[in-house]
Amino acid sequence: MIAWSVELSEFGIQYESRGALKAQCLAVFVAELTPTATDEPQVWTLHVDGSSNSKGGGAGIILEGPNQVTLEQSLKFSFKVTNNQAEYEALLAGLRLAHDLRA
């Protein structure tokens, strides 16, 4: 830096360090461009129930969203399941539905 100061002094130019100003400019820039979260998070509620018997298995899904949005879905399994497996499959199907709706 001293070498540059000597070179610039021939032309009447003086070098001044501005390191702190750069950091402050960056802080202001980030503060101005950071989005403010004014929207309330949208809450979705998932209800699932599954059951099985000797004739087969099935499940029901209810997905409730904001603004009174309600989606209902029923499933019939084409394979033999226990009650716990039916509940688990219903949960997986409900989560897939919520994911597809970007809920």
pLDDT exceeds 90 at position 28: no
Yes or no: say if 47 and 64 are a contact pair by the CB < 8 Å rule.
Answer: yes
Q: Which residue has tokens 């809450």?
A: 43
Yes or no: say if 48 and 59 are a contact pair by the CB < 8 Å rule.
Answer: yes
What predicted TM-score, i.e. pTM, was given to this entire model?
Answer: 0.58
pLDDT exceeds 90 at position 13: no
Query: What pLDDT, on a 0 to 100 scale, did the predictor assign at position 99?
Result: 93
Q: Whole-angstrom Cα distance, residue 87 to residue 3?
A: 76
How does DSSP classify residue 17?
A: -
CA–chain centroid gap for 13, Å, is 52
Domain ranges of the chain: 2-33, 45-100
Q: What is the mean pLDDT of the chain?
A: 84
Query: What pLDDT, on a 0 to 100 scale, did the predictor assign at position 20?
Result: 60
Q: Of 61, 55, 103, 52, which is closest to residue 82 (Cα–Cα)?
A: 52
